[in-house]
């Protein structure tokens, strides 16, 4: 079974119903860290289910942000203490591409954190960069919280929008609806990556 089919399977909806908002928090600080499922996809699924009344998208969004802040704080602390857990990650940050983000983090902390949020699997490098550069934790939490609020709101909203546009298909066939929704999620993820890539190219010129 593919990663996408796992997300769209009714078991995830059952998970939300059974464990509620605490389940969302646990998901992001545990499963999300080891599963090859982008946070963007999970947030859109939360918005998708939110329209159906399974969960409140607003409360779920706040819980998601809290979970993100929690795991970011853990990564910040682990980097500060020189944990072996992040040893390989820190080594990879010496590449030219990563050094570019690292250098920008000093003078443009908020902008850099926001950009990293919208690059799949790059968001968690934010707290590592901040810790390595010995920037203030308070400053990091402030800027990171605002970035996460924007990030979470956009992707949960996209999930809600997809639900409205696909409601007819879903009512006719749950299987067909899930396939179309899955394709839409993939398309939006690719589009997001493309837009961020274009913006980065313009800034580099």
Q: Indicate if the pLDDT at residue 64 is higher than 80.
A: yes
pLDDT: which is higher, 153 or 13: 153
pLDDT for position 93: 65
d(CA 17, CA 11): 10
The residue behind tokens 């800034």 is: 203
The residue behind tokens 């850099």 is: 112
Residue-level length of the chain:
205
Q: C-alpha distances in angstroms, 190 versus 35, 99, 104, 120?
A: 19, 25, 25, 10
The pLDDT tens digits for 90-142 are 666 666 666 777 777 878 888 889 888 888 778 888 898 888 888 889 989 99
The pLDDT tens digits for 194-205 are 555 555 555 555
Q: Which of 19, 25, 23 is nearest to 64 (CA)?
A: 25
What is the reported pTM?
0.71
Q: Which of 34, 33, 38 is nearest to 159 (CA)?
A: 38
The pLDDT tens digits for 138-164 are 989 999 999 999 999 999 998 888 776
pLDDT for position 195: 54
d(CA 121, CA 105): 17
Burial of 205 (0-12, 13-18, 19+ CB in 10 A): exposed
């Amino acid at each position: 079974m593919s990663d996408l089919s796992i997300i769209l399977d009714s078991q995830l909806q059952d998970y939300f119903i059974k464990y509620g908002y605490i389940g969302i928090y646990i998901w992001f600080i545990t499963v999300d860290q080891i599963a090859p499922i982008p946070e963007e996809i999970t947030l859109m699924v939360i918005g998708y289910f939110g329209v159906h009344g399974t969960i409140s998208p607003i409360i779920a969004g706040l819980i998601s942000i809290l979970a993100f802040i929690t795991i970011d704080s853990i990564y910040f602390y682990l980097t500060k203490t020189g944990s072996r857990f992040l040893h390989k990650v820190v080594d990879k940050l010496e590449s030219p591409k990563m050094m570019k983000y690292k250098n920008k983090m000093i003078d443009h902390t908020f902008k850099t954190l926001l950009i990293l949020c919208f690059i799949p699997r790059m968001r968690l490098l934010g707290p590592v960069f901040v810790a390595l550069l010995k920037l203030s934790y308070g400053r990091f939490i402030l800027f990171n919280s605002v970035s996460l609020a924007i990030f979470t709101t956009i992707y949960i909203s996209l999930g809600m929008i997809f639900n409205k546009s696909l409601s007819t298909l879903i009512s006719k066939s749950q299987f067909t609806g899930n396939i179309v929704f899955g394709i839409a999620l993939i398309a939006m993820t690719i589009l997001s990556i493309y837009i961020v890539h274009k913006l980065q190219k313009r800034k580099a010129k």
